[in-house]
Amino acid sequence: MDVPLAGAADIPSLDKLLHHPALEALSARHGRTQVVLALRSHLEDFRRAALNGNLTRAALSEDAIAPMLAARLAEKARPRLIAVFNLTGTVLHTNLGRAALPDEAVRRVIDALRYPVNLELDLSTGRRGDRDSLVEELLCELTGAEAATIVNNNAAAVLLMLSSLAARREVIVSRGELVEIGGSFRLPDIMRQAGAKLREIGTTNRTHLGDYAGAIGARTALLLKVHTSNYAIRGFTASVSVPELAPLCHGHALPLVVDLGSGSLIDLARWQLPPEPTVRDSVAGGADLVAFSGDKLLGGPQAGIVVGRAELIGKLKANPLKRALRVGKLVLAALEPVLALYRAPELLPERLTTLRLLTRDPALIRAQSQRLRPIIQHALGDAYQVVDEPMTSQIGSGALPVEQLPSHGLTVGAVKGRRSSLERLEAALRGLPRPIIGRMAQKRLWLDLRCLEAEEEEAFAAQWQQLQLPHAGGTGRGA
């Protein structure tokens, strides 16, 4: 039976279509401007189809146009930044936004979005204030430092310190600490951008106090100690600690600057986590400035925090770069309540989301895995095999890179072992309303449940009911 075709003359006008009730409803939802733009594009598609002789009359009906236009507008309006389920096994996953904020921080951010706030207003005097002062007192209390300042990430903090204190002068760094962070950003590149000259000392695996002492000269601006938080060198190694370096620096009237990276404010060993140097340890050991991240082990928003001597913090604040790198009200609204939680460290595993995830009991994660396995197996049908098994998580974002945490989860494999069908399943999970992000390894999809908290379990299970399965060569749903 021949399908009735239409020509360009049969295409309805834009004005006529805009008065159709369904399109008027779309205008009320998306705005007339967006509907007109989408409709013009749709009509242009019709004209091309007519020229090619494959435009059907059925496609021109207003009842056919409206749902296609609705779908086009919905896709255009779809947010690009959305919540996902992190089942990668990496708690602080850079690609997934690192630290999830505790509820109190979320509430404070909402207030800062909704209402005017005293970002740079000193309420006690009525005069202009310093936005850093909103968290400076807390930071000094928690670290033992004299002063503090905040920028938008730790790389910016290092750039600001070098630009303020070492422009056109030398900075001494051990070769074993010339780190590269994510996205191929390297410490020597940051140093070059700041106008400082790198003076490498020691070897990749061994640097001694004498190497630092021998490199100090008339053009030396400071000594930089970098915590290698995103890799580890083991075996025949030697490095110089902050307490060992401090007397050497101060004897030559040079600042000792520490890039601590992951930024732990407390000793993690008290919760049976791998030990990590704390900011307070560096300050007490004699560091003049310490820089660290807000969104790694600290568990707050993305920020670069610098604490240390008031005189040097003052120089950082006087640098024009400080204004370019400063944070806005949302970061400060989130950071203050997170820092306040550290005043009661004994309550942190309950209140700080990052620490709660890092310290989850593997037995509870295993019980969760056993509850979810039959739900997921039912959703996938017999085309896939779902197995409950132990796993190892990692902290992530360069923090304690070689340390692993015992965990539990599910692995999914295609019954006939065809990797292509498993990759299509992974893509389908990423296409869910709330995507499920796992990791591929050993020809299976691994779903580590460490970051799936109990209150999200029901919503997680519901996602599997919306899954449109790719063909996997079996008889499961959607096959």
Q: Residue ranges per domain, the chain?
A: 8-77, 85-92+358-465, 103-346
List of the chain residues with pLDDT < 50: 472-479
DSSP state of 240: -
Strands of the sheet with 439-441, listed across from one edge: 384-393, 405-414, 444-448, 439-441
How many other CB atoms are found less than 10 A from the CB of residue 304?
A: 26
Is the CB of residue 199 less than 8 Å from the CB of residue 173?
yes
CATH number of 85-92+358-465: 3.90.1150.110
Structure tokens at 274: 């791998």
Q: Name the packing angle between helices 32-51 and 62-77 (round to 10°).
A: 120
What pLDDT does 474 receive?
42
- 213-253 pLDDT, tens per residue? 999 999 999 999 999 866 667 777 789 999 999 999 999 99
Two domains, one topology: 85-92+358-465 and 103-346:
no
DSSP state of 465: H
- 109-157 pLDDT, tens per residue? 999 999 999 999 999 999 999 999 999 999 999 999 999 999 999 999 9
Q: Cα separation of 216 and 225, whole Å?
A: 14
Structure tokens at 431: 């296409």
Work out the burial of residue 362: count CB atoms within 10 Å of its CB; fewer than 13 is exposed, 13-18 middle, 19 or more buried.
middle
Structure tokens at 449: 């449940």
What pLDDT does 262 receive?
86
Residues facing 461 on adjacent strands: none
User: One-letter amino acid identity for 113?
Assistant: L
What pLDDT does 88 receive?
97
What pLDDT does 185 receive?
73
Q: Are strands 256-261 and 220-226 parallel, antiparallel or unpaired?
A: parallel
Percent of the chain whose predicted confidence (pLDDT) is above 90: 82
Query: Full-prediction pTM beyond 0.95?
Result: no
Q: Which of 395, 179, 359, 172 is nearest to 276 (CA)?
A: 395
103-346 is a CATH 3.40.640.10 domain: yes
